[in-house]
C-alpha cells in the first residue's frame, strides 16, 4: 500500500501538522507515504520524516489534477487522501481514481469550500471527520452516512510534552517568570485571524487586572500587519513587550512551553494540552471556555470552538474567561495536568494512524466486493483453499490420540499415593509455631531496639517534592504579584 497525501501548502498550520503526524506514524506501520503540494516551510520536516515530497512544478500549476493523477499512476499510489479545499478540487477534476486506487478526504473544518467538498465526497470511498460536529455537518449536506468516519486529531505526545524550563522560554519574549504569559497560535488569515483580533481587544481588560501579563501571538497568514496595527494601542498604553505579534514559529512548542495559559482551538488546543498547559477554547464557531473535566465532553464535540460553540466569542467574554482563570493559579496547574492526561488517553497519534490504516485496507477491498463477479470469486476462493488446508497439519491429531496414554489410567489410580496423607499431618511442623512467638534475637542480649529505628534511612522524600511542583501556583501568582489593587 502506498498513500499520497494532498494538501495545498506545507505551511505551519493545524492541517499540515496533522498530515505530517499521520504520515510519520503510517511509515512506522510499514506504509510508503508521499505528499503532493505547492510546497512550504514544512517541506524539509516531511522529507526528514521519510515522506516523499512531490512539489507541483511551475509549468504544471495550471493543471494540478492532471499532474498528480499522472504522478500517482507512475508511482503506484493506491490511496489518494485529500485534506483541504484545493485538494478536493484536484480530486473532483481527477474523476474516477482508476483501477486499484481509492480517494479519501478529511474534513478539518467548516471553512472548506462546500461545492468542491461535496464533489470530492461523491468520488471518495471514505470521508473522515475530525470531530463529531464535522460528521454532522457533512451528513446535513448530503454526504453518504456510510462513508462518514469520525477520527479524532492525533497528537504526538513524545514530541508535544511538558518542559519544566518555563523561565528559559519566557525569556525569549523578555517575560520574567513572575509575569503570566498568555499565548495565541493560529492562522492569521480569514476567518481565524478574527479570533486573534478579539483577543487583542480583550487584552485591555486583562492587563487592567493583571498589569504584568504578556500576550504573544504567532501564526502564518496575510493579516499579520492588521493584527500588529490593532496591537499598537495596547503597546503604547502598557509597553511594547506586553503584546508581541510575530510570524509563525518553526517550532511552536517553544511558545507553549513559555505559556501560563493558551488561547486556541482545534489542533492548537490539543497540542497545548499535551504540553501540560491550561486552555481557553475559542474558535471560528465561537466561545467554548476553559477546558476542564466538567467541560471536556462539550469541548471535544465542538473541537474546542472550531466546529461548534456554546456562546459567541466576544472580547468581553474572552476577557472574562482569562481573568477567571488567572485568578485561580492552583487550578491552572491542575487543568494543565488534566489536559496532558486527556490527550494521552484519547488523542494518541498512534491510535489515529492505526485506525486510518484499517480504513485504507477496508476501502481498498470494496471494489472487488461491490462488483462481485461470481465466477471469479469462486475461482479465487478455490485457489486459496489449498493454502490453509495443509493436510500434514490436519493429520497431526493422531499424535495426540495416543491410546496408550489413556490406558495408563491405572498408574494414576495408585491408592498408595492417596494413603500417604499421614505424611502431610506431621505435628512437628505445627509445633514449631512457638518459635514464631519467641522474642527477637536482639531482645535476648539486652535491649537493642535501635535496629528497627533505622527506617529514617529508606525515607528519602526528596523525590516526592516533584509532584507538588506541578500543582503549585506559578511564580507570578505569589503574594501580591498578580492582582492590581
Last-in-domain residue among 336, 368, 400: 368
Residues 195 and 119 in one domain: no
What is the extent of the structural domain holding 119? 2-152+350-368
Residues 319 and 202 in one domain: yes
> Would residue 455 count as lying in a domain?
no
Residues 183 and 303 in one domain: yes
> Would residue 75 count as lying in a domain?
yes
Residues 356 and 209 in one domain: no
> Would residue 401 count as lying in a domain?
no
Residues 118 and 180 in one domain: no
Last-in-domain residue among 339, 368, 397: 368
**pLDDT for residue 178:** 81
Residues 257 and 308 in one domain: yes
Residues 10 and 107 in one domain: yes
Residues 147 and 194 in one domain: no
What CATH number does the domain containing 321 carry? Answer: 3.40.50.2000
> Would residue 473 count as lying in a domain?
no
Residues 98 and 65 in one domain: yes
Residues 291 and 357 in one domain: no
Residues 337 and 250 in one domain: yes
**pLDDT for residue 406:** 46
Residue-by-residue pLDDT tens, the chain, 485 positions = 999 999 999 988 889 999 999 999 999 999 999 999 999 999 999 999 999 999 999 999 889 999 999 999 999 999 999 999 999 999 999 988 888 899 999 999 888 889 999 999 999 999 999 999 999 999 999 999 999 999 999 999 999 999 999 999 999 888 888 889 999 999 898 888 999 999 999 999 999 999 999 999 999 889 999 999 999 999 999 999 999 999 988 889 999 999 999 999 999 999 999 999 999 999 999 999 999 999 999 999 999 999 999 899 999 999 999 999 999 999 999 999 999 999 999 998 999 999 999 999 999 984 433 333 333 334 334 434 444 444 444 344 444 444 444 444 444 444 444 444 444 444 444 444 434 344 443 334 444 444 444 445 545 544 444 444 445 666 666 645 444 43
**pLDDT for residue 95:** 85
**pLDDT for residue 317:** 97
How many separate domains does the chain show? 2
Residues 147 and 268 in one domain: no
Last-in-domain residue among 299, 316, 347: 347
- Bridge pairing between strands 2-6 and 148-150: unpaired
Amino acid at each position: 500500500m502506498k498513500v499520497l497525501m494532498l494538501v495545498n501548502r506545507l505551511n505551519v498550520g493545524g492541517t499540515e501538522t496533522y498530515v505530517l503526524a499521520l504520515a510519520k506514524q503510517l511509515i512506522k506501520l510499514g506504509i510508503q507515504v508521499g505528499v503532493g503540494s505547492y510546497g512550504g516551510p514544512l517541506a524539509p520536516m516531511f522529507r526528514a520524516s521519510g515522506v516523499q515530497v512531490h512539489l507541483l512544478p511551475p509549468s504544471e500549476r495550471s493543471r494540478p489534477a492532471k499532474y498528480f493523477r499522472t504522478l500517482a499512476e507512475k508511482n503506484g499510489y493506491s490511496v489518494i487522501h485529500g485534506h483541504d479545499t484545493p485538494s478536493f478540487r484536484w480530486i473532483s477534476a481527477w474523476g474516477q481514481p482508476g483501477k486499484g486506487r481509492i480517494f479519501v478526504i478529511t474534513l478539518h473544518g467548516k471553512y472548506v469550500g462546500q461545492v468542491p467538498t461535496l464533489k470530492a465526497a461523491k468520488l471518495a470511498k471514505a470521508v473522515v471527520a475530525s470531530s463529531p460536529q464535522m460528521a454532522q455537518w457533512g451528513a446535513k449536506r448530503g454526504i453518504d452516512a456510510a462513508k462518514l468516519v469520525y477520527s479524532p486529531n492525533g497528537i504526538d505526545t513524545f514530541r508535544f510534552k511538558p518542559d519544566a524550563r518555563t523561565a528559559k522560554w519566557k525569556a525569549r519574549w523578555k517575560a520574567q517568570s513572575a509575569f503570566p504569559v498568555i499565548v495565541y497560535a493560529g492562522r492569521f488569515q480569514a476567518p481565524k485571524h478574527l479570533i486573534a483580533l478579539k483577543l487583542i481587544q480583550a487584552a485591555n481588560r486583562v492587563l487592567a487586572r493583571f498589569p504584568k501579563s504578556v500576550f504573544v501571538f504567532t501564526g502564518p497568514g496575510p493579516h499579520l500587519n492588521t493584527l500588529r496595527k490593532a496591537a499598537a494601542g495596547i503597546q503604547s498604553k502598557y509597553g511594547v513587550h506586553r503584546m508581541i505579534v510575530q510570524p509563525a514559529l518553526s517550532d511552536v512548542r517553544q511558545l507553549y512551553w513559555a505559556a501560563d495559559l493558551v488561547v486556541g482551538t482545534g489542533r492548537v488546543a490539543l497540542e497545548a494540552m499535551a504540553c501540560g498547559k491550561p486552555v481557553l477554547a475559542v474558535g471560528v464557531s465561537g466561545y467554548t471556555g476553559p477546558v476542564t473535566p466538567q467541560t471536556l465532553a462539550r469541548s471535544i464535540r465542538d473541537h474546542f470552538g472550531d466546529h461548534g460553540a456554546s456562546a459567541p466569542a466576544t472580547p468581553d467574554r474572552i476577557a472574562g474567561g482569562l481573568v477567571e482563570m488567572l485568578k485561580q493559579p492552583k487550578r491552572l496547574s491542575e487543568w494543565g495536568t488534566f489536559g496532558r492526561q486527556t490527550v494521552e488517553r484519547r488523542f494518541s497519534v498512534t491510535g489515529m494512524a492505526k485506525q486510518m490504516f484499517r480504513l485504507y485496507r477496508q476501502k481498498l477491498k470494496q471494489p472487488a466486493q461491490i462488483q462481485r463477479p461470481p465466477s471469479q470469486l469462486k475461482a479465487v476462493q478455490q485457489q486459496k483453499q489449498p493454502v490453509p488446508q495443509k493436510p500434514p497439519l490436519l493429520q497431526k491429531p493422531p499424535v495426540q490420540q495416543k491410546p496408550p496414554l489413556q490406558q495408563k489410567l491405572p498408574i494414576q489410580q495408585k491408592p498408595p499415593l492417596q494413603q500417604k496423607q499421614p505424611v502431610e499431618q506431621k505435628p512437628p511442623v505445627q509445633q514449631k509455631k512457638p518459635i514464631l512467638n519467641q522474642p527477637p534475637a536482639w531482645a535476648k542480649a539486652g535491649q537493642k531496639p535501635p535496629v528497627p529505628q533505622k527506617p529514617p534511612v529508606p525515607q528519602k522524600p526528596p523525590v516526592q517534592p516533584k509532584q507538588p511542583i506541578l500543582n503549585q501556583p506559578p511564580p507570578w501568582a505569589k503574594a501580591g504579584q498578580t492582582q492590581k489593587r
